[in-house]
Amino acid sequence: MSTLSNKRIILGVTGGIAAYKSAEVVRRLQDQGAEVRVVMTPAASEFIRPLTMQALSGHPVHSDLLDSEAEAGMGHIELARWADLLLIAPASADFIANMVHGKADSLLGAIHLATPAKVAVAPAMNQAMWSHPASLANIDTLEQRGVTMIGPDEGIQACGDIGPGRMEQPDSIVSKVSSLFQNGLLAGKKVVITAGPTREALDPVRYISNHSSGKMGFALAAAAVEAGAEVCLISGPVAIVPPERCEVISIVSAQDMLDASLATAADADIFIAAAAVADYRASTIADQKIKKQGDSMTISLEKNPDIVSAVALANPNLFVLGFAAETQDVETYAREKLERKKLSAIIANDVSRTDVGFNADDNEVSWIDRSSSVVFSKRSKTQLARDIIEHLAKGHFH
């Protein structure tokens, strides 16, 4: 499996002779399975043509902060939300200083401030500039804020000086980027995740179901794998490819999901109920296709088993994370569900919104437990999944 499979990476290129290496960084990232969008500062365009980066990445290069065409398509806020990682390579001394001060006078600066994604920087500058106390203080500040520094390398520089300050080689940069998604926060833990919808048969050809795509549950499974966990993904019928390196159990009905959940969660550490389970099923399933008769039809329904409650009851030591998909009074209903079902925590989201939730690529949710409430603002489901897993791991298993 490619180490950056399905990862979305913004490559930010700033002004400096090392910008010529950025073209190779794009190729190496793509070789590892990443989708790359390039953002260049005006100074970067003096060293390498945007057309080169466009041809390599397969996407238009973004450069202007106030670009009406870009804002009508993927504007800087959408671009910032799209990314799983913002990689700035090369990062000049000037741009690093701008990052420290939160300047948004360039498109790349605005994306840095707006993105919820990981941020990594590969500095490139003269050895004297790198060694200056101001530069060292700026680097220290960014690292304290969680920015990952990649390099710099040492050696002969374009100006003829010898010392630290050269941008690391593309292979080394991509290797270190890959390691950012393997955090080990849940190493040694077993995580069971339910995902997607269930289907409750009415007859051999019809069923009751819902609009769940499974994207959130599958993203959580991928994030848990990245965190080093042993992952079992129990999924209803979906049209997406499951992440590798996890056990996948395909089910159809709520009863199927309950049986699989109880069996796999018996020796698990964490159970995440991200599936959208049908609340009711047909009291009887017709053996043959139900024929159309008259202008109306009455179907008798009975309540499905409550999977997350059953799992929580069966294993009191299990950390159980539930989901509350609501259309109104989201937090109120979520807190009631948290208490009633004896959950450790719950993720609440408003599925009445068309820009997040069911079938959307983005989501915006709240993490609610008995002592706290944390809002995760709108971002890609892949990034949100990593943030949820990190929050869970650091708060309860790290």
| Tens place of pLDDT per residue across the chain (398 aa) | 457 877 899 999 999 999 999 999 999 999 988 999 999 999 999 999 999 999 999 999 998 876 655 544 456 788 898 898 999 999 999 999 999 999 999 999 999 999 989 999 999 998 899 999 999 999 999 999 999 999 898 777 666 667 788 899 999 999 999 888 877 889 899 999 999 999 999 999 999 999 889 999 999 999 999 898 999 999 999 999 888 789 999 999 999 999 999 999 999 999 999 999 999 999 999 999 988 888 888 999 999 999 999 999 999 899 999 998 888 888 889 999 999 999 999 999 887 777 765 667 788 899 999 988 999 988 888 889 999 999 999 988 76
Whether 159 sits among the annotated catalytic residues: the reply is: yes
Question: Would you say 33 and 7 are in contact if contact means Cβ atoms under 8 Å apart?
Answer: yes
Q: Which residues contact 98 (CB under 8 A, 6 or more apart)?
A: 105, 106, 109
How far, in Å, CA of 285 to CA of 280, rounded? 13
Count other C-beta atoms under 10 Å from residue 7's C-beta: 25
Cα 294 to Cα 66, 149, 285, 291, 297, distances in angstroms = 61, 70, 20, 10, 8
Give me the helix-helix angle, 107-114 and 93-100, nearest 10°.
Answer: 40
**From 159, 162, 290, 375, active-site residue:** 159
Structure tokens at 148: 């990952």
Q: CATH 3.40.50.1950 occupies which residues in the chain? A: 8-180
Chain centroid, CA 237 distance in Å: 22
Q: How many CA atoms lie within 13 A of 160 on its CB side?
A: 0
Structure tokens at 195: 């995902």
Give the pTM: 0.71
Cα 23 to Cα 27, 54, 89, 250, distances in angstroms = 7, 10, 10, 42
Phi, psi angles (nearest 5°) of residue 323: -125, 140
How far, in Å, CA of 303 to CA of 286, rounded? 18
Structure tokens at 20: 């010529």
DSSP letter assigned to residue 197 = B
- 190-396 CATH fold: Rossmann fold (3.40.50)
pLDDT value, residue 358 = 65
Alpha helices in the chain (DSSP H): 22-31, 50-57, 68-72, 76-82, 93-100, 107-114, 127-131, 133-144, 170-180, 215-226, 254-265, 307-314, 330-340, 381-396
Query: Sign (positive/negative) of CA torsion 261, 264, 267, 272?
Result: negative
How far, in Å, CA of 66 to CA of 316, rounded? 54
Question: Would you say 80 and 115 are in contact if contact means Cβ atoms under 8 Å apart?
Answer: yes
Q: Which residues contact 144 (CB under 8 A, 6 or more apart)?
A: none
Phi, psi angles (nearest 5°) of residue 6: 70, 10
Secondary structure of 294-358 in HEC code, one letter for each residue:
CCCCCCCEEECCCHHHHHHHHCCCCEEEEEEEECCCHHHHHHHHHHHCCCCEEEEEECCCCCCCC
How far, in Å, CA of 72 to CA of 209, rounded? 36
How far, in Å, CA of 75 to CA of 78, rounded? 5
Q: CATH 3.40.50.10300 occupies which residues in the chain? A: 190-396
pLDDT value, residue 35 = 92
pLDDT value, residue 398 = 65
How far, in Å, CA of 300 to CA of 302, rounded? 7
pLDDT value, residue 392 = 96
pLDDT value, residue 157 = 65
DSSP letter assigned to residue 362 = E
- CATH assignment of 8-180, among 3.40.50.9100, 3.40.50.1950, 1.50.10.20, 2.40.128.20: 3.40.50.1950
pLDDT value, residue 73 = 47
DSSP letter assigned to residue 229 = -
